[in-house]
Amino acid sequence: MPPSPDATNPDTRSFDPDRLALPSGHFIAGRFVPARGGIPLHRPSDGAAFADCPVAEPALVDEAVAAAAKAVRESGWGERPPRERVRALHRWADLIEEKAGVLAPVEAVASTRPVGQLAAGDVAVTAEQIRFFAEFADKETDDLVPTGAGSLGLVMSEPYGVVGAITPWNFPLSMAGWKLGPALAAGNAVVLKPSEMTPFSTLLLAALSVEAGLPAGLVNVVLGDGPTTGTALTGHPGIGKVSFTGSTAAGTAIMTNVARTGVKPMTLELGGKSPQLVFADADLALAARAVAGSLLANAGQACVAGTRLIVAEAVADALVEAIGAHCAGIRPGPTWDAATTYAPIISERQIARIEAIVGAALAAGAECVRGGTRLDRPGTFYAPTILRRVGTDSPAVREEIFGPVLTVQTFRDEDEALALAEHPTYGLAAGLFTRDLSRALRVTRALQAGTVWVNRYGRSRDHILPTGGYKQSGIGKDLGREAYLANRRSKSVLVDL
């Protein structure tokens, strides 16, 4: 999911964050709906208060759901010749790319994403996701099924109508693309609630959809927090399906709310604590680059961050040293400086959490090989941190830290490596590095994870591969054909001849 940490675009300029105009309000039925007050937001890069995120009350969520239902009904979005959807979504994707120079600063100022990585990274990925899903829209055929002479059996596929989507703060644009692309291509309208910490780029995406000619009301954005706006959205009777990406705790709360308010299907993309296994025969330079890349990308604030290094004892020292060398090359700085490559941590609260987990590991006897402190500069930056001699039950090994903290555990044989890799609750992703093909396939089979990367780590633009978790890392898939199909339901028809 995270765009490559190396995806820099020299054309993306530094900008003055104090002179940046941000969109405000909610976006419903093709128009910005003014709103005042709300949750005060601070820029991660320097801590300055810069905007408020309004909180939509349930009545406004009602309005957005009604606008979505009306748009999908009156425009015939899900019923007209599907090639029209394909063309409209391509126009929108083109416009998103054209407006990269507007989207990138708006994203950079609120989030942890450096402006130099946005245009060629997150913005381009978002446009590609929309194009990728658009192409499914007119490739689907209904099935004629054998039901015996004298009858005709059909399985028809239909959209849900209105999809309720909720996204996290860590990659706001591409997470919105994950949700909007498949839901719209499949013929639905969407009401999307972005994270209250990074809501602005999603508002722009919605406004661009109308500018590109999508029916007003097809993409609606309500801003707000989880307990008020999120709960109203996931429990809304006008929503046919919930599509969520965020923490396992919030996913659990959503399941409870959906169960309480009425049954509806859900896809949940949740947290992780992903291992990277490096065997003694691996290309160590390649493994070091991949492990460091996953630690440093968005400063470890990625669901699939591979922050549990499990390495063969014989090569552990050499590998840790090589990873450390990559960490030495970071360029921390404000997200509005084009030279920045190392992201700040999203909030003071999150820094405090990282400090508490690292502190507890050190108090329990872990050895800090590198980092272990906040960076001495404005904003919320934390040094790339490598911890050795950490116990399997340490919170540093068990909890999703969502920061640049790598734990190192060593193994003597494959069984021990697999035992260490197994997490009691998470199963989002895993990486493994070896030159032995048989081992690679055997270990891949044994790993309990929704994605396994072999001799690489992280996705790039391979949208065809579904992404999703085993265990409590989620239910269902985003990306891939599965994500498109998850936004449609089947109707069985039996005609008596």
Instruction: List, in order, residues 6 or more apart from 478 with CB less than 8 Å away.
Output: 178, 179, 182, 243, 245, 267, 269, 466, 467, 468
Between strands 49-53 and 39-42, the pairing is: antiparallel
- Determine, following the binding rule CB under 6 A, whether residue 78 of this chain makes contact with ligand NAD: no
> Binding segment for ligand NAD among 63-71, 266-274, 326-334, 368-376 (CB under 6 A)?
266-274
Active-site residue among 269, 355, 399, 416?
A: 269
The residue type of 181 is G
3-class SS string, 269-282: ECCCCCEEEECCCC
Active site residue 416: no
> Binding segment for ligand NAD among 50-58, 126-134, 193-201, 481-489 (CB under 6 A)?
193-201
Instruction: List, in order, residues 6 or more apart from 228 with CB less than 8 Å away.
Output: 55, 56, 57, 58
The answer to whether the beta carbons of residues 294 and 457 sit under 8 Å apart is yes
String marking each residue 456-495 x if it binds ligand NAD according to CB under 6 A: -----------x-x----x---------------------
Listing DSSP states for 98-119 in one string gives HTHHHHHHHHHHHSS--HHHII
CA quadruple 75, 77, 82, 85: dihedral positive or negative?
positive
At its nearest, how many Å lie between ligand NAD and the CB of residue 474? 6
* Total number of residues that touch ligand NAD (CB under 6 A): 32
String marking each residue 282-321 x if it binds ligand NAD according to CB under 6 A: ---------------------x------------------
Smaller CB separation from ligand NAD, 291 or 428 = 428
> Which of 160, 196, 220, 274 contacts ligand NAD by CB under 6 A?
196
For residue 225, what are the CA distances in angstroms to 169, 198, 233?
A: 12, 11, 11
Question: Exposed (0-12), middle (13-18) or buried (19+): which is 492, by Cβ within 10 Å?
Answer: exposed
Smaller CB separation from ligand NAD, 134 or 166 = 166
> Which of 169, 200, 336, 342 contacts ligand NAD by CB under 6 A?
169
At its nearest, how many Å lie between ligand NAD and the CB of residue 271? 3
Smaller CB separation from ligand NAD, 98 or 462 = 462
User: Which of 37, 10, 9 has its CA nearest to residue 24?
Assistant: 37
- Determine, following the binding rule CB under 6 A, whether residue 163 of this chain makes contact with ligand NAD: no
User: Which of 235, 237, 255 has its CA nearest to residue 246?
Assistant: 255
Residues marked as catalytic: 269
Residues within the interface to ligand NAD (CB under 6 A): 1, 166-170, 193, 195-196, 225-227, 230-231, 234, 245-247, 250, 253-254, 269-272, 303, 400, 402, 428, 467, 469, 474
